[in-house]
Structure 1
């Protein structure tokens, strides 16, 4: 079987993960509501610039073999640009559309981290508390802090690297996984480094944060995110699914992260294996507004947002760093997402108040790079040449 190379860069019950007894949590103060315009009033970009973008996107799309792509840009003082190209369904030839629902992969982490930070603002969680104060059974949990988990410096092994997990997923990609099952795959491995000693992107971290939210709030993660994050942000088409549900309309998703390595339609795979690390669904307009809310800290206190943006260096990422559920690269702030069949880039450029959203219906690497990176780089080379979105190639 081929290795699962990303699964977000994505059984036996876990008896050792025993949460402390739930108590009734104190009521949280409602977060401030994020203002979302009911009608988009931006004018379009200069036609010559829009045509240049059309051509650049199509060149990358064809060169990388991307079936379909949607790009949204909102550039204050310059205009807005929404463009879809290619196909949403290889069988019917239906075109890609900008109103599709989309699996957003690791952009989910931005919502999970925001939920945790709201608990921090409510005085219910401390960023430098050890995870063992909330969840039992975490290897070296007495020394790993909530902050280290959120910023990917816990040293916990990522369950998505585990061969048994990969075999289980790819053998039956429609099966459900529980958070406890996912952590069981991770916790049978030694930690990869001491807490805080290094950086390694690990989906285990965000499954733990999802359980933390449930433990402290006393609510299912999906409910807490809806009530405390997406609801106040007026993100009506953004949610954490219970299973494989995927509302219409949406594009079919194509991947070679399969048992044989052949390209398959993976649209209906069950994303429960990503849960708090990567299972959410959204759409272009919701992601457009979320990019700004995330980067400006609308839902959080200024002090907590400052903690969130304490970006730690990431080896191999020049001019980039990872914070608490978001990253920065060349001035852009936000997150990308990748899971079999779909990729996304959701970024905000504070110095220009600019927003960029990229959505694809494939995750197949081209020339060693994520296809979403290829699109985002080509777009920003044109519209923000001083701030070009870039991530390193896979090795």
Structure 2
């Protein structure tokens, strides 16, 4: 009898502790969400950002928060709005290239003149010595199209979108920054060329390959790659886009759409932050998008003194608290994004806004500061 009561007492204590733990986790999660919502609201109500969307996946929860407007002055942003993901698109392009590597159609260590026509490789610096891997990890030494002195004037004075040849024209016959593989230089043109390689080896529009072989198998329902899609206007639910202008915001949605439609491979994804968090969680935590060997290739990071650590379509850096983050960011005329996975805590964080940071360093710094505050709140 004594044993009977003892067992009942032990079970009572066990289940009481379990319920307390669950209640504590729930309370902690609710407190975290409240803290994060306050950070977002403070950033939009002070007119730093028109709209913000934040998605988080932790070991025991996933949620999306939003603040501000998808379209000024009154259309509130919500978890279903599509945000321009800018250079986060590079991770999708890299995944497509690695899938083709797994199929035996691409050799990462082959030079790009094995895949691209001479009309391209003879006109770009390092065209016969740059390897596919050099494009992927930003060590090709190629000049970028945005470095051309005419580029920014051209995109605001000419009809958009530009075709591929127009973009390539900004790097043709321009000198390389260095010999391939000897240094790091972030250049969007690397991923433009990767999109063309996808088309050469598959015989199909690279849009279709990314859509059918990366987006669809990942189970992403609100993620779209729009260059070469035939769209003539943004998809329904896409946020309007702005630039900061003396304390207010100027709508540049038409320019934003036109530029993103022009930039193949290095840009092009519009999605909910919820979907993008699911993508990076599947890629880096669940490891269901690429086979282990190919994911390992993706995670080989450059290590040039004083330069960012860049893998194949992924950044790696340490936060101010010493936590490792892996993912990508993006900056455009009318949008900005951050998407990072923290392997120590298996946490994924995606933040997006609909104001440009590409040519506005003050806004870029404000967005980084908000990102860092969110990281500090979540990653202990």
TM-score (norm: length of structure 2):
0.82
Query: Against the structure 1 CA distance between its residues 178 and 202, is the aligned structure 2 distance closer, same or farther, given a 3 Å change threshold?
Result: same
Q: Which of 331, 343, 357 pairs up with 2:350? A: 357
Q: Which of 244, 247, 267 pairs up with 1:278? A: 267
Partner residue, 1:290: 279
Conserved? CA contact 2:66–2:79, under 8 Å: yes
Q: State the 1:64 CA deviation.
A: 7.0
Conserved? CA contact 1:60–1:374, under 8 Å: no
Distance 2:193 2:219 in 1: 26
Equivalent runs, 1:206-355 vs 2, <5 Å: 206-241=191-226, 242=229, 243-255=231-243, 264-269=250-255, 270=258, 271-296=260-285, 297-313=287-303, 316=306, 321-330=309-318, 331-355=324-348
Query: Against the structure 1 CA distance between its residues 73 and 133, is the aligned structure 2 distance closer, same or farther, given a 3 Å change threshold?
Result: same
Partner residue, 2:114: 133
Conserved? CA contact 1:314–1:322, under 8 Å: no
Q: Which runs of 5+ in 1 are unaligned?
A: 1-41, 386-395
Distance 1:131 1:366 in 2: 34
Conserved? CA contact 2:54–2:352, under 8 Å: yes
Query: Against the structure 1 CA distance between its residues 239 and 82, is the aligned structure 2 distance closer, same or farther, given a 3 Å change threshold?
Result: closer
Partner residue, 2:151: 165
Q: State the 1:54 CA deviation.
A: 2.1
Aligned residues: 336
Q: Which of 39, 42, 47 pairs up with 1:59? A: 42
RMSD: 2.4
**Larger gyration radius, structure 1 or structure 2:** 2
Partner residue, 1:18: none
Query: Against the structure 1 CA distance between its residues 370 and 186, is the aligned structure 2 distance closer, same or farther, given a 3 Å change threshold?
Result: farther
Distance 1:194 1:341 in 2: 34
CA offsets, 1:82-108, max 9 Å, x none? 211122222x32222121011111011
Conserved? CA contact 1:207–1:276, under 8 Å: yes
Equivalent runs, 1:35-114 vs 2, <5 Å: 46-62=29-45, 65-77=48-60, 79-90=61-72, 92-114=73-95
CA offsets, 1:268-289, max 9 Å, x none? 2212222211122111221121
Q: Which of 180, 184, 193 pairs up with 2:178? A: 193
Distance 1:164 1:209 in 2: 24
Distance 2:363 2:336 in 1: 15
Q: State the 1:61 CA deviation.
A: 4.1
Q: State the 1:80 CA deviation.
A: 3.2
Distance 1:314 1:75 in 2: 32
Q: Which runs of 5+ in 2 are unaligned?
A: 1-24, 319-323
TM-score (norm: length of structure 1):
0.79
Conserved? CA contact 1:157–1:187, under 8 Å: no
